[in-house]
């Protein structure tokens, strides 16, 4: 146990990395179309126990000092993308549902409608126009696929997240962890979550309403963090 | 027997709460930030009457006690006893 | 007998690193070293040439990585120091990142970093130094060392611009410059803040005559490599820096 034990210390995404077989198109998409600057690169070879080709690892800034990175391996054969679904990293057969294929994607945040429309404009003027624009009550998003087949979403929140949504998210996760396993279902989750709501919601509300000094112990039990139910 | 469903109090969920309040035999209370929709008999909420669109409609129920969901589609949310 | 492969990144006209490093480390009783270098093209020690050199760093590390060295010494001291304080840490990080990205376990050191490391190892706070450079570059070296936390009691610049000529500076010219320094209160003398100026043969005599520890960029580099490799400081004839852990004291 030390002074850092309970603190949330990470500061965002150092990098999320993917392979590419077309660095030129990748640069045209992220740097030239979306305007994400190239902020770093590493030229290396495979010197470790895994023998692998020389490669370039390059990074785009995606805001907040977070970075999106790509590996380009010299001489590596690109997989066949003419059959099946997916991207150059993960391939799925034709029968795989699209909703599953789309389950891994990167969504980038913008602060306003104006900014969202600006990225829409940039994409629509490029080889990679917006494929879908969705708005519902809380968020609005545009979607496209980059030259490697990776799905990219740009999204804005229509209103800020409220404290009760944080509580709700944590209750969902606590309920999920309790019921997960064979036979788990949304119904089982909602039943368990109702139990947790009955146990914790009022206490949480009192902690929200209470003056600052009274908060710590009650909030620790009722809301986010390492919750033991 | 009395059964309940829970709905988080956020602006997008106001439609379902407003419609629930208007249903006969339904009581709407609150526990913490959750509305509690309570009734002795199963209930049916018409989606169009709530004005809610799909993504929010299909995520508006936070918890179930005593009821199972009998149907939840673009037309209505209907409960039944377990 | 431990076997160690040392990768060296040297300025292309440099002949002294590949002469002095093997001469020094070859004397170690417990380890056998082999040396493998890659070269950065440079003739004049000028800011423009130095900027061009650093751009070649990636190629040099790529080449050396293929030889699977145990440690890589980025052996151009002035190229780092001329870029300003903190530069060796920055470059060492970039080299380490390049090696790590490719899965190489090679350790990374630099001559500039080694000089600071060796001075700290001696417990030195005030130092004196002799450099072959023109004054403006020499001033940058002094500023760099001061930024590392040392006080520079005095210094001499021999003002030789051509790197090839630096490799041929006679030893007595270096010693004269050292003698001309006021060494009162100095804890150590850096007799060659340069990897091209030969100085190995001067070190013992200078220590004996001047009465304080004398080191060079080369002996500091050797110190850093020994420390990195977990080997004892057991090399004779290259100054007190390198012989403090000898089993039996040897005089030259």
What are A50-93's pLDDT values in tens digits? Answer: 878 999 999 999 999 999 999 999 999 999 999 999 999 999 99
pLDDT at A216: 53
**Chain C nearest CA to A74, separation (Å):** 13
B neighbours by CB contacts (3+ pairs under 8 Å):
A
Position C247 scores a pLDDT of 77
Instruction: Test A165 with B31 for CB contact under 8 angstroms.
Output: no
CATH number at residue B55: 3.90.56.10
Instruction: Evaluate whether C2-113+219-242 and C114-216 have a shared fold.
Output: yes
Distance between CA atoms of residues C92 and A185, nearest Å: 53
Q: Domain A16-157: state its class.
A: alpha beta
Using an 8 Å CB-CB cutoff, list chain B residues near A162.
10
Q: Look at the block and give the residue holding tokens 């009162």.
A: C184
Question: For the residues B34-46, what does the mean pLDDT come to?
Answer: 96
Query: pLDDT tens across C17-42, in order?
Result: 999 999 999 999 999 999 999 998 86
Q: What is the share, in percent, of chain A residues with pLDDT greater than 90?
A: 84
Q: How confident is the model at residue C54 (pLDDT cuts 50, 70, 90)?
A: low
Q: What is the mean pLDDT of residues A92-117?
A: 96
Span A148-154, mean pLDDT?
Answer: 98
Is residue A227 scored above 90 in pLDDT? no
- Nearest chain A residue to B33 by CA distance is A164
**Chain A with chain C: Cβ pairs closer than 8 A:** 37
Mutate one of A19, A39, A47, A58 to test the C interface: name it (highest C CB count within 10 A).
Answer: A47
* pLDDT, tens only, C148-181: 999 999 999 999 887 778 878 888 899 999 999 9
Average pLDDT over residues A7-36: 98
Q: A111-119 long-range CB contacts below 8 Å, 24 or more apart?
A: A111/A156, A112/A156, A113/A140, A113/A156, A115/A156, A116/A140, A116/A142, A116/A154, A116/A155, A116/A156, A119/A34, A119/A154
The whole-number pLDDT of residue C249 equals 57
Interface touch C58/A47, C-beta < 8 Å: no
Supply the residues of C annotated as catalytic. 76, 194
- What pLDDT was estimated at residue C252? 59
**How much is the pLDDT for A218?**
47
The answer to whether residue C170 neighbours chain A at the CB level (below 8 Å) is no
Cβ contact (<8 Å) for A167 and B56?
Answer: no
Asked whether residue A215 carries a pLDDT value surpassing 60, the answer given is no
Domain ranges of chain C: 2-113+219-242, 114-216
Q: What's the pLDDT score for residue A220?
A: 46
Count of structural domains within chain B: 1
Q: Do residues C198 and C207 make contact, with C-beta atoms less than 8 angstroms apart?
A: no
pLDDT of residue A226: 46
Q: How wide is the angle at C-alpha A71 spanned by C-alphas A18 and A91, nearest 5°?
A: 45
When pLDDT is cut at 50, 70 and 90, the band that residue B58 belongs to is very high
d(CA A55, CA A73): 4
Q: How far apart are CA B26 and CA B37, in angstroms?
A: 7
A190 to B11: CB separation less than 8 angstroms, yes or no: no
CATH number at C114-216: 3.40.50.12500
| Chain A residues in contact with B54 (beta carbon < 8 A) | 136
Whether chains C and B touch (3+ CB pairs under 8 A) is answered by no
Q: A166 and chain B: CB distance < 8 Å anywhere?
A: no
Please say if the pLDDT value at position C186 is more than 70. Answer: yes
Q: Please compute the mean of the pLDDT values over residues C213-219 and round it to a whole number.
A: 96
> Please, are residues A15 and C97 in contact by the beta-carbon 8 Å criterion?
no
Lowest average pLDDT, out of B33-42, C43-52, C64-73, goes to C43-52
Q: Can you tell me the ipTM of this complex?
A: 0.94
Using CB atoms within 10 A of its CB, is residue B73 exposed (0-12), middle (13-18) or buried (19+)?
Answer: exposed
Cα C26 → chain centroid = 16
Cβ count near C47 (within 10 Å)? 14
Q: What are phi and psi of B31, to 5 degrees?
A: -135, 115
Do B66 and B3 contact (CB within 8 A), yes or no?
yes
Q: Is C136 helix (H, G, I), strand (E, B) or coil?
A: helix
Q: What are the residue ranges spanned by the domains of chain A?
A: 16-157, 163-222
User: Rounded mean pLDDT of chain A?
Assistant: 92
Closest Cα partner for C217 from C47, C30, C38, C14?
Answer: C14
Least confident of A119-128, B69-78, C34-43: C34-43
Of B11, B12, B34, the CB nearest to A197: B34
Ranking A215-224, B21-30, B71-80, C180-189 by mean pLDDT, the lowest is A215-224
Q: What is the CATH number of domain C2-113+219-242?
A: 3.40.50.12500
A45 has a chain C CB within 8 A of its CB: yes
């Amino acid at each position: 146990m030390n002074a850092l034990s309970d603190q949330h210390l990470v500061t965002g995404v150092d990098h999320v990395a993917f392979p590419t077989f077309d660095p030129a198109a990748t640069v045209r998409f992220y740097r030239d179309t979306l305007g994400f600057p190239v902020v770093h690169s590493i030229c290396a070879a495979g010197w470790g126990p895994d023998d692998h080709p020389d490669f370039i690892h390059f990074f785009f800034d995606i805001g907040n000092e977070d970075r999106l990175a790509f590996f380009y391996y010299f001489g590596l054969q690109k997989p066949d993308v003419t059959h099946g679904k997916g991207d150059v990293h993960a391939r799925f057969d034709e029968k795989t549902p699209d909703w599953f294929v789309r389950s891994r994607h990167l969504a980038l945040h913008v602060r306003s409608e104006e900014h969202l429309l600006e990225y829409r404009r940039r994409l629509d003027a490029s080889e990679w126009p917006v494929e879908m624009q969705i708005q519902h009550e809380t968020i609005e998003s545009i979607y496209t696929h980059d030259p490697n087949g990776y799905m990219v979403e740009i999204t804005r929140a229509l209103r800020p997240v409220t404290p009760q949504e944080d509580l709700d998210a944590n209750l969902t996760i606590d309920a999920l962890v309790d019921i997960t396993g064979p036979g788990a279902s949304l119904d089982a989750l909602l039943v368990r979550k109702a139990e947790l709501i009955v146990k914790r919601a009022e206490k949480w509300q009192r902690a929200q309403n209470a003056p600052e000094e009274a908060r710590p112990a009650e909030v620790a039990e009722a809301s986010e963090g390492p919750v033991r139910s | 027997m009395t059964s309940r469903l829970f709905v988080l109090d956020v602006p997008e969920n106001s439609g379902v709460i407003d419609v629930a309040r208007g249903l006969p035999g339904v009581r709407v209370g609150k526990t913490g930030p959750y509305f509690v929709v309570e009734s002795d008999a199963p209930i049916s909420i018409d989606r169009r009457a709530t004005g809610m669109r799909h993504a929010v409609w299909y995520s508006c129920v936070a918890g179930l006690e005593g009821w199972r969901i009998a149907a939840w589609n673009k037309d209505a949310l209907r409960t039944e006893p377990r | 007998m431990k076997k160690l492969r040392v990768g060296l990144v040297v300025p292309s006209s440099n002949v002294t690193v590949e002469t002095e490093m093997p001469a020094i480390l070859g004397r170690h009783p417990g380890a056998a070293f082999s040396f493998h270098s890659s070269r950065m093209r440079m003739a004049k020690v000028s800011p423009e040439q130095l900027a061009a050199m650093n751009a070649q760093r990636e190629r040099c590390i790529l080449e050396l990585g293929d030889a699977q060295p145990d440690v890589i010494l980025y052996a151009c001291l002035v190229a780092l120091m001329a870029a300003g304080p903190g530069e060796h840490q920055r470059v060492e990080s970039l080299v380490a990142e390049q090696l790590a990205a490719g899965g190489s376990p090679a350790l990374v050191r630099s001559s500039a970093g080694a000089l600071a490391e060796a001075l700290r190892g001696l417990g030195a706070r005030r130092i004196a130094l002799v450099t072959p450079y023109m004054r403006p570059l020499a001033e940058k070296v002094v500023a760099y060392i001061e930024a590392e936390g040392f006080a520079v009691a005095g210094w001499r610049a021999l003002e030789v611009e051509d790197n090839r000529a630096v490799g041929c500076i006679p030893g007595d010219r270096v010693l004269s410059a050292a003698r001309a320094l006021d060494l009162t209160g100095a804890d150590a003398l850096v007799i060659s803040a340069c990897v091209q100026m030969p100085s190995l043969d001067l070190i013992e005599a200078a220590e004996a005559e001047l009465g304080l520890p004398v080191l060079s960029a080369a002996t500091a580099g050797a110190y850093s490599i020994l420390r990195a490799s977990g080997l004892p400081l057991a090399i004779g004839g290259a100054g007190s820096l390198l012989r403090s852990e000898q089993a039996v004291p040897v005089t030259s």
